[in-house]
Amino acid sequence: LSRLRVALAKGRLYEPSVERFTRAGAEPSADAGRRLLVPSSDPSIDFLMVKPGDVPVYVESGAADLGVTGTDVLRESGADVLEPLELGFGFCRLVVAAPAGVPYPRLPGGITARVATKYPRLAQSHFAALGRPVDIIQVNGSVEVAPLLGLSHWIVDLVDTGNTLRANDLVEQETVLQCGAVLVANRASQKLKLDAYLGLMERLERTPA
Ligand code: PRP
């Protein structure tokens, strides 16, 4: 049987991903310490722990056969991968938000709005589809602080509970994308390692979220 290398995102999706694979019979080995490539209780499956934004890169290139990623990160990456399974966790939404008191969807005087986000491609295409020119400002986290400091007028960011928006006096305006965790697969290795791939898919489907 061929071996499958599965890229897991360190961060919010990590615990539910490990839990799901464990129930499917592939528990990452506990004594791996700080190793980033770890074997599992299934001899045909190894895990690779990477930054969330890197999962699509590893899987598209074939450095990993499979991966778990959020559709937010996946769509932003534009990676050409298969998406064989929705995993049923990691639900959130990507939204446009503005500070209470800052006009939306237009600023007075025809000013072009500045929008801070970790998702420049998704934000750009959202506003382009609506025919509203904006200037996108890319940041890598703590996006909610950008309007408070005058870096941007609006933001595009993920919302789960809404607590972060509320705590920073931001009001949700529009949904850009509904997001959730998906299993992604490299196009070639899905064919080349078909036996192992189908076996894992079958076990993941038998142990739903
Ligand atoms: C995410 C997201 C929001 C927050 C949303 O940030 O970017 O800031 O969680 O969750 P809530 O609606 O439940 O408050 P994360 O914690 O991943 O950190 P980041 O700001 O560094 O991206």
Residue list, ligand 1 pocket, CB within 6 Å: 141-144, 157-164
Residue labelled with tokens 């064989």: 84
Cβ contacts of 50 within 8 Å, gap of 6 or more: 7, 8, 9, 10, 36, 58
Q: What is the DSSP letter of 175?
A: E
DSSP secondary structure letter of residue 112: P
Beta strand 82-86 with 113-117 is: unpaired
CB atoms within 10 A of CB 136: 18
- What residue's CA is closest to ligand 1, atom 17? 12
If one residue of 122, 140, 159 were mutated to test the ligand 1 pocket, choosing by the most ligand atoms within 8 A of its CB, it would be 159
CA distance 10 to 149: 29
d(C-alpha 171, C-alpha 154), whole Å = 10
From first to last of its 209 residues, the chain has per-residue pLDDT tens of 789 999 999 999 999 999 999 999 999 998 767 788 999 999 999 999 999 999 999 999 999 999 999 999 999 999 999 999 999 999 999 999 999 999 999 999 999 999 999 999 999 999 999 999 999 999 999 999 999 999 999 999 999 999 999 999 999 999 999 999 999 999 999 999 999 999 999 999 998 77
